[in-house]
Every structure is written in C-alpha cells, then in structure tokens.
Chains A and B, each alone.
Chain A
Amino acid sequence: MSSTLLEIENLTKSFGGVHAVRNCTFSVPEGQVTGLIGPNGAGKSTVVDLVSGFGTPDSGGVRFAGQPLIGKRPDVISRLGLIRTFQTPREWRQLTVMDNVLLARRRFASESLWRSITRARRIRREEEADRAAVRDILDRFQLAALKNELAVRLSGGQKRLLEFARMAAAEPRLIILDEPMGGVNPVLGARIGEAVREFAAEGRTVVVVEHNLPFIERTCHQVVVMDLGEVIAQGPFSGLRDNPRVVDAYLGMDQSHE
C-alpha cells in the first residue's frame, strides 16, 4: 500500500568479538510508524547509529529513498531528510530554547561566514518568519514560556519535549527516535505519543526504538523485533504474541503485557 522509504540489507557490525548486529534486514514503509523493539543489547541502537552515519558497518547496505547511505557522513545523511534522536536528549545546553529550535529549521545558507557579515540585516529579516513558526511549535510543546531560557535549565521532561519541538521544526522525511519514552512520566508520555502520531499524520515516516510496549502497540503500524543482533520478526504488533521466538526473547519478560 505504500512504498519503502528505508531499506536495511544484511547489515553487520561487530565491536571486537561482540557481534552487535548480524545480517540485519528489514524495511520501513513510507508514511508509517515502525517500532524497533528487542531486549537490551539486541543491537537496536547500533542499527540506528549505522543508518544515520554515526558508525560504519562491517558489511551490508542501507538505502534511503533509493539512495545508498553507507559511507556518508551524519550531516550529509541528515541533509537528505533523515533525522535521529539519541537515547539521552542532546540539547545544545548553553543555547536558549528558541535558538535550539531555530537551529533545527536548518537554514544552512544563512550560516555562511561571509553572508553573516555582509548580509546580517537581510538574514535577520528572513529569520523572522522562522521565529514565528518556532514560536508556534514551542507553544504546541508547552515550551513557549521558556523560549528565552537556556536549554540546560530545563527539566528532563522538558528536554524530551524540546527534542520533539526540534524535530517538528526540522520537518524531516524520516524520523528515528531512540527511546523517546525513557524516564518520562505518563502525562508527558501521552504528549509524546501524540507527537509521534502527528508526525505520521503530516506524512512523515517514523522509526521508534522503545521498550514501552503499550506505547509501541498504540503508536506503531508495524514492529521489527531484534534479538542478539538479528531480526527475529517483522509485522503488525498483534501478530507477535503468537510468535514463540518473540515471546521467548522479549515479550515473555514483560509483566505489563497480558
């Protein structure tokens, strides 16, 4: 029903003697939310790093919208429209909340050293439109009152929201979220789930690495299960309970799931 946006083929990576990722193959359909789950050490975050250019695989390939990504730098991959988060929020601490989100608008042309000197006024004028858009985004994530605060002063939950505000400002084609629910309270969790669905509603493709299975069940169209560096299942969440490998590796350990 929808075309494939991200294709991962036989991805393999070992660190010393540890096979972090082994012959990992799966695909992400465009416009859908794909969950990537599995026990700790299954290789999920390594896959995210390899896809986003923060690591080089030993072998295998990644194609994003038909383009091969392996060997490309993270900033190049990002400019193609793939933006990822990290397990811990990585806000620019000594910058204001407003600046953090403005940076996510990615106006690379106005960051030229020369133009910053010679076209300062014009750049500032052009930035006004971005600022207005960012104010709206901050409002959506309950950060409007904090726009002039340094990001370092935000609470853990607010930092998560800032991450989503940046993502909303960046408007990427593919979003990869690495454990967005880590250390998040239920109310905030609801807001995050909503944000993921908003992204999907806007037509963006989302991959979310997460241990919170109720969240995965509610948000994801399909799920990829990894264990010991390999993909052991892929499909809709409802089908996983009947898959003995998945139950053995992961679901069996989860108390909250009937």
Chain B
Amino acid sequence: MYWVSVVTEAGIFAILALGLDVIWGWSGDFDLAFYGYLALGSYLTFVLTIGKPTPPVEYILGFHLPVLLSIVLAVVAVVGLAAVIGAIALRNLRDIYFAVTTLGAVSALYLLVENYTPLFDGYNGVYGLINPGQTALNLTYNGYRIVFLGIVLILLFLAYLLVQRLSRSPFGRMLRAVREDERAAAAYGRQVFWAKYRAYLFGAALAGLTGGLFAIFISAFNPSAWTPQELLVIYAAILVGGRGNPRGVILGVFVVYIGFIELTRYLPSPASRPDFAPAAREILIGLMIILMLRFRPEGIFRERPGLDRGLGPGAPTAPPVAVASAPASAPAADEGGAG
C-alpha cells in the first residue's frame, strides 16, 4: 500500500507539473504563485464537501456537495484567482519582476489563510474528506486507494494527451514564439498579454484539478502542506525531465518524487539526528538541479519542435510553383559594398 500512495502522489504532482510547464516551459513565466492554486483548489474541495464545521473549528461554506461537483467549482474559483493575479502580474512584468510579484501574491494568500481562521480554520486547516464514494462503490479502504490510483493515472494520461495536443498546436507554437521574442511576436500581430494570460489560466485550471485530487489523497489540508519548498520540487522535476516537453515533465516528476523523495527515506537516520534524512533529501535535490543545469540544461527530454516532414518544392506531392525557383537562381547583382 505504501507504493500505491507514492505513485498516486507522483501522479497528482505530474498533472500539476504539466500545468506549470505550460506557464513556465512554453510561456516562459517563472510563476511562484502556482502552488497557491493547488492549495486553493484543495481547500475549496474540502469546504464544499465536508459539511458544516463544528465549533471551535470554523471555515467558510461548509456544504455537502458531491466531490466531483466540488472539484469543478474549485477549478472555477482557482481560475478566477489566477485571472486576478495574472491580470496584474502578466501585463507588464517579466522575468524576475513577474516572479517576485507572484511570490508576493502567494505570500499574501498564505498569510491570509494561516491567520484568518474563519476562512479555512487557520493553521489547523480542514480535514475529514475520507475516501468519498467508498461505500457507494462498495470498496474496502485499500481497494479504494487502488481505484483512486487508477483514476489519477487515467486523469494524468488525459492531461498528457490534452497538453501534448496543445503543445503541437498553433497555440503552442505561438506561445513559444512569444516566449522567444515578444517584440517580434507583436510585430507579427500577436497580442502578447492575451497569449500569456490564456496559458496562465489553463495552467491554473490544471492546478485547481490537482488540488481537488490532492484533497482526496491526503484527506486533510493545512498551511504546512503548501510551503514554498513544494513548488521548487516541482520546478526541479520539470528541469530534470525537460522543460517544454510534456513527456519529459512527467518523467521528471516520477524521477524526483520516487527517486529522490521516496528512496531517501531508506537513508540511515541516526536517532540523535532525526532530521538527517529530510535535510539530505533537500541537499540531493539541490545538487541534482546544479548538475542538470551544468551538464544537461535542456533536461532528459529536450523540448521538441514539430518537424516538417513534407517534401520541398518540386517534389511529386507538391507541384512546383513557377515563381518559386526563379529568383533563387538569378545571378547576383552588384549590391553591397559600402555600409
């Protein structure tokens, strides 16, 4: 059962990383608010499903909605928050200025959630979403966890298909052009803000979905579950797997989560130093980022542009156009010289 839970968690984070890669990998925006979207999605899934709070516990809403509907509503709310943050941060800010602004936004959200208890019960957080639908599906506890893993993997596969399709579409191409050179993209008619904004909302929607899955997965959520380090691990995973390549991103998450986080659990942890293993884990992840950046900055799978497999002009499939070959073979005039 331990490995079921490890793979489920990695699967959830892989969906999250696919969303973040659209924003960072394709659009080029180093978003630090991203984990906040998972958190909001998770909180909302809780408060929409677990019913009224019993004092002294307090939180907003407290509905008893079906979990699927709750996740949909959570995604809508998360996209709404991203629409506000993105509208401010993406308009004129780029690179480090964008990163700092989003960091500010998520810090404000974090402090609000932590200190304003009527929202999501502050530091205690929300809990009580235990295997929703288990009785309806007539499953044992462990059986439910296995089915849930299956659902996560199916959703990951669907998310992969969706992102891969987008990646190869004109939308993905246009977004990468904006990333490579905004001014040239604008000179060729692209609305830079709107392009980045749409990518941002799409990524945030995946984060909201991930939040809902995460709520079911851990059945309790509080501020210690979404510290800033968590997001850096996702960034490390994208970097290792291959920024801009959906397959690489998924591989990266599994490498980082299973290879580093889970296997380091087997590191010897002396009783006198129980914090040795977690510290060693973070050092290893940091080391991995440095080594990747030094020796293979494009990641395990590099971003792969779609190749044009069509034959050139004059090929049997494409009838030659009369004007096409003439100028290329024309004799060179005497241009140039002074300049």
Binding site for B on A (CB under 8 A): 52-54, 73-75, 78-79, 83-86, 90-96, 98-100, 102-104, 106-108, 110-113, 116-117, 120, 123, 127-128, 131-132, 135-136, 138-142, 144, 147-148, 150, 166, 170, 181-182, 184-195, 198, 211-215, 218, 254-257
6 further A-B pairs in the complex, CB-CB below 8 A; given A78-B188, A120-B169, A128-B310: A112-B171, A116-B172, A117-B162, A148-B308, A188-B336, A190-B333
B332 adjacent to A187 (CB under 8 Å): yes
Report B225-258 CB contacts with A as 1/0, cut-off 8 Å: 0000000000000000000000000000000000
Chain A residues with CB below 8 A from B172, complex form = 116
Does B278 lie at the interface of the complex (its beta carbon under 8 Å from any beta carbon of A)? no
How distant is the Cα of A94 from the Cα of B168 in the complex, in angstroms?
14
Specify which chain A residues have a CB less than 8 angstroms from the CB of B305 in the assembled complex. 94-96, 99, 148, 150
- A135 and B312 contacting across the interface, CB-CB below 8 Å: yes
- Which residues on B sit within 8 Å (CB–CB) of A214? 335-338
Other-chain residue from A98, A104, A141, A192 in contact with B188 (beta carbon distance below 8 A):
A104
Which of chain B's residues have a CB closer than 8 A to the CB of A170?
Answer: 188
Residues of A within 8 A of B332 (CB): 186-187, 190-191
Pair A139/B187 contact, Cβ less than 8 Å: no
Q: Say yes or no for B271: interface residue by CB 8 A criterion.
A: no
B339 and A75 within 8 A (CB): no
Q: Which residues of B contact A148 (CB under 8 A)?
A: 305, 307-308
Chain B residue total in the interface (Cβ 8 A): 51
In the complex, are the beta carbons of B187 and A113 less than 8 A apart?
A: no
Q: How far is the CA of A98 from the CA of B309 in the complex (A)?
A: 11
Q: Which residues of B contact A98 (CB under 8 A)?
A: 307-308
Does B292 sit at the interface, judged by CB under 8 A? no
- Check B336–A190 contact: CB distance below 8 A: yes
Contact call A186/B337, Cβ cutoff below 8 A: yes
User: Does B136 have its Cβ within 8 Å of any Cβ on chain A?
Assistant: no
Q: Is the CB of A83 within 8 A of B188?
A: yes
Q: In the complex, which of the residues B181, B318, B327, B335 contacts A186, with contact meaning CB atoms closer than 8 Å?
A: B335
Can you give 8 A-B contacts (C-beta < 8 A)? A113-B166, A123-B169, A135-B310, A170-B188, A186-B334, A186-B335, A214-B338, A215-B336
Closest to B166 in A: A116
Cα–Cα distance between A194 and B335 once the two chains are bound (Å): 9
Among B170, B180, B312, B328, chain A packs the most CB atoms within 10 A around the CB of B170
- Would you call B145 an interface residue if the criterion is a C-beta within 8 Å of the partner chain's C-beta atoms? no
Query: Contacts A78-B189, A116-B169: A92 and B335 contacting too (C-beta < 8 A)?
Result: no
> Given the complex of chains A and B, what is the CA–CA distance between A107 and B181 in angstroms?
18
B251 to chain A, nearest CB (A): 20
Cα distance A108–B174 when bound, in Å? 9
A53→B180 CA distance, assembly (Å): 20
The segment from B10-18, B86-94, B98-106, B190-198 found at the interface with A is B190-198
With a CB–CB cut-off of 8 A, which chain A residues contact B321? 136
- Are A94 and B303 interface neighbours, CB within 8 A? yes
